[in-house]
Structure 1
Amino acid sequence: MAVFVIDRRQAPLMPCSEKRARLLLARGRARVHRLIPFTIRLIDREVAQSELQPLELKIDPGSKTSGLALVRNNDTVNAETGKITATAHVLNLFELIHRGFQISHTLTARRQMRRRRRSANLRYRAPRFLNRKNKGEGWLAPSLQHRIDTTLSWVARIRNVAPITHLAQELVRFDMQQLENPEIAGVEYQQGELAGYEVREYLLEKWHRQCAYCDVSEVPLQIEHIHPKARGGSNRVSNLTLACAPCNLKKAAQDITQFLAKDPKRLTKIQAQAKRPLRDAAAVNATRWKLLNALKATGLPVRTGSGGLTKCNRSRLVIPKTHALDAVCVGEVDFVEHWQKPTLVIKATGRGSYQRTRLNRFGFPRGYLTRQKNIHGFQTGDMVKAIVTQGKKVGAYIGRVAVRASGSFNIQTAEGLVQGISHRYCTLIQRSDGYGYSTRIDSF
């Protein structure tokens, strides 16, 4: 991976190789500015003394994971034909894992807790139904807005350490009707899946008037959610099936993968018949234009490419499919060089919680958390290095720390969780910034 370089005034310079970064650090010409992504700061050079080349940051937005690729473009002109050949030299690959669905589940839990307070004999809090002022034109749900904000945040972070001159985004649109029915055409686009049916009659024909879990027929059948509504399941027809009363009662609020764990054949059959979920495609469709407009607001030129063009480039150049490599293939690309690189996986973890208790499965407190987040100069999520010199846990550990009021911390390392490390052995490497980092090396 290329190493980011900034000058002594923290202006971005051209990234360098790992070997050159080691030489600059060994000769005292640079200092370590940040550990992840690794950035060095030169102490004897400014941006005016350096020659910069055009860099492009390419983005492949996704519902759960977005791919980012930093490339150096090299356009050459054929003297005979005058044709321009675009070659992308890959410098760094990133995969940004969003937490949109986690945000959605958290808001659902908060809503349920507030509703309980209104029905229980507790301090009353009036419902806020139509008095919200934030849902204006162009408003997005927090789980969707998070995807845009996180992507823009990393675009700004990379711009701070690399002289980016262009941006590129894959502007993809998913056809929901085509995803549900690949053979749909003509006037059928104007009709829904339930055209000419009531929901119950449609389900009876779809599931052959028998229970999906035990195949019993000629008994009263109940409408059942494949993915339980209590766990975020929707009322879409693709999430509904039919079940007899005993099976419906036995399944309760279990997910179908848990309920049919001992019958994988039936599980595969039900999932295939129920059709694929469309929430990922809907999330991308809802955020694509807002992300594009936000990228244009940065003032940099923004190029767009379709999903079909990305797939064509990847197939033509024989490049494996990953989120980061999809970003490399966005837009007009003739050749790609040095794409076999490790990928920095960035997972959005959030910056903690205001919740002061841990709850059991009945909703009652089972433990209380400290109100003080900073313990002996450390807080949960910090990257630390612990060198233990005595006791049962002698050794060196590097990872993310989880603090305790007692001063005995837990460290999550690449090998696993290490518990009971005293704060006296810990040295801070990098402050928590709401993200977790890991490096993935793909074997191509």
Structure 2
Amino acid sequence: MPLTRKAYRAAILHSLADPAEVGIEASYEYFEDGLLVIENGRISALGHAGDLLPRLPADIDITHYQDALITPGLIDTHIHLPQTGMVGAYGEQLLDWLNTYTFPCESQFADKAHAEEVADVFIKELLRNGTTTALVFGSVHPQSVNAFFEAAEKLDLRMIAGKVMMDRNAPDYLTDTAESSYQQSKALIERWHGKGRLHYAVTPRFAPTSTPEQLALAGQLLGEYPDLYMQTHISENKQEIEWVKALFPERDGYLDVYDHYKLLGERSVFAHGVHLCDEECARLAETGSAVAFCPTSNLFLGSGLFNLPMAEKHKLNVGLGTDIGGGTSFSLLQTLNEAYKVMQLQGARLSPFKSLYLATLGGARALRLEDRIGTLQPGTDADFIVLDYNATPLLSYRLKQANNIAETLFVLMTLGDDRTVLQTYAAGNRVHQR
């Protein structure tokens, strides 16, 4: 294959570490006039344009962006493909919302043509919003996952998804069995896991919708394939927590249910965690598990406020999730806008550099993919986005008043949305152009 080499010149910013661990100044790298060099889908060089330009071959194709910022592609650690058609559904908290809106919407995915249509819309929305990697819940139907992976594979995206396992406390038309969920998951793993840039996640919806037999088989799958992911929900809503206690009286709490069935581990991501206690955070951190912080959804469904400082105290990996369709926007910029407010309501600060970390390198660490995505370090996949300072008249005017990159970044995360994303690149290929 011929060597394909391209360069992109603009202001460039990426995270190097968690600001909570190294301090803000050491947590990021910023080039006011930077250059990003891509070779065959990977980043080969990053630095000041003045340093790198003289070393490049004369015929290299250089794209120069004015009034723009290049950052790593954004990483969504919790989102539901089948809920795309019910975003912004009115007036319920979690359990009623599932029964009223979610389950009927997910039932349509028995039809592969419907699954393919939604997968196309869903991936376009992700890329339009600058999201290059997502950890995705399918429906209970294997065809939902096949449709998603087929669409993602065509664009060489790094995506993780799984078929929901759900064998009780849901409508008959939407349940599987412990055995069928195991066999269907296994077939999907054999077909997709590790194919190109795709990964499989074992996906029990949440403890109340799985029997002990099904949870045991989910744990068995993780044992059979050592580098699989596991995704589920935890401690999102107080009623849900009481329900889990009633269903599993022999366990010491919600997290202990998952712990007992061997579902904690380095590639396990638990969505929400709004009502976790100190001991549970410590146990998640000890096992290398991660939590997906979903502020738009937690506010929209009235679930509560995630305690990020407590997670930081335990050095618990935290990523960011839009949680479509409990969340109301595919935009991780908008999700960070809400995350800031969630912290404010608890008397805590969320710096723009911590926000950048959560949406990029923090998500990559939660997924154990920091050697591949989440930064712009040479050697990593060329997944990056171009943010347009003039995307809207207000953004353009406001950014002219910004005095430094911290202020610029915060304004992008407060006023920015899908319109701010000028271009999205995955493995060096442009996959979205506004």
Query: TM bucket by the smaller chain?
Result: under 0.3
Could you tell me the TM-score, scaled by structure 2's length? 0.24
